[in-house]
Amino acid sequence: MPDYAAIYDDVYQRVPGYQTPLSSPGLRVAYKAADLIRASGPDHLDVGCGLGFVVEALRNIPFRKNSRGADVSRVACQGANTRLGEERAFEIQAGRLPFEDQSFDLVTCFDVLEHLDLPDVERLRMEINRVAKPGALQIFNISLRDSGTRDLNNESVHRTVRPAYWWDEIFNFDRYEVDKADREMTAFVRR
């Protein structure tokens, strides 16, 4: 298993695009899916929250969620908590989300899955299902292309680049959309 924590501690410190909300696919998707998000229950988890831009947005108008985040990067979690002024981002350790079973009405996972090796995609899928309440809305954004960003090993940070139908076979989404220009998909499922 790659040392995702070390990889993303480095990326969050070194790559400017990870340090600004302007390049956050999650923010774009959250505002595009605003009606669905507002209609979901109050408890929200953003998996792979980075510096907490989605957590911050969903805590405020028009969403007003009890929003928390989780990330493998200690650097990202510390940065998010400093930015937010309170502890809202929690470290994922040993592949386990640090929350109780069935805790969240809404789980978002934006621009994360393609950063994992296939066995870790499966593990994260199971963890997301574990922390989601019955009937919870899950929203994903997945890049379908290689990344120009390189990790500590000089490899693409997008480790699993596959077409949309492949991801749908893994997750069995209720529906998904593909943005051909950005080569990414947004997918929705209720569990």
Per-domain residue ranges of the chain: 4-190
Q: Please say if the pLDDT value at position 191 is more than 90.
A: no
Q: CB neighbours of 66 closer than 8 A, spacing ≥ 6?
A: 42, 43, 44, 59
Give the pLDDT confidence of 97-116 residue by residue, as tens digits: 999 999 999 999 999 999 99
Inter-residue contact 29 to 188 (CB < 8 Å): no
Q: Which amino acid is at 162?
A: R
Question: What is the DSSP code (8-state) at residue 93?
Answer: B
Give the pLDDT confidence of 129-148 residue by residue, as tens digits: 999 999 999 999 999 999 99
> Strand 184-190's sheet: what is its strand order?
89-91, 66-71, 43-47, 104-110, 132-143, 184-190, 175-179
pTM of structure: 0.96
Of the candidates 31, 75, 33, the one whose C-alpha atom is nearest the C-alpha of residue 57 is: 31
Q: Does domain 4-190 have CATH number 3.40.50.150?
A: yes
Give the pLDDT confidence of 45-58 residue by residue, as tens digits: 999 999 999 999 99
Confidence of residue 24 (pLDDT cuts 50, 70, 90): confident
Of the candidates 181, 175, 106, 99, the one whose C-alpha atom is nearest the C-alpha of residue 145 is: 181
Of the candidates 142, 177, 160, 167, the one whose C-alpha atom is nearest the C-alpha of residue 36 is: 177
Inter-residue contact 110 to 53 (CB < 8 Å): no
Give the pLDDT confidence of 151-178 residue by residue, as tens digits: 998 999 999 999 999 999 999 999 999 9
Instruction: Quote the pLDDT of residue 84.
Output: 96
